[in-house]
Amino acid sequence: MLAIDTNLIIRYLTADHPEQSSKATSVEVANALSAFAGLPRVCLEDAALIAKALDWTIRGMDFADALHLVKAQGCQAFVSFDRRFARAAKELSDVEVRTL
């Protein structure tokens, strides 16, 4: 098990720094977040949705995109400029991601 600093989580979730975000992804932050979410004293707003978003993240989708997509379940479609996201969504979700 690895202990990770909060800034690794931030870089991983926000992808706001290309070099650091890539490094944060390489230490499997999504697995650590999944383990954290499963702790007895951790309460999530919707644990099942977060679990699905983290699973999609582990499978290669950006966490923010995964979270948006999982919250879009039941919608007719999700619209984005991100073609890479649309391709990933096609493999993982029933929600159609339309690109502009």
Domain borders along the chain are 6-74
Per residue, the 3-state secondary structure of 12-73, as one string, reads: HHHCCCHHHHHHHHHCCHHHHHHHHHCCCCCCCCCHHHHHHHHHHHHCCCCHHHHHHHHHCC
pLDDT in tens, 79-89: 999 999 999 99
pLDDT in tens, 52-69: 998 898 888 888 899 999
pLDDT score at 58: 84
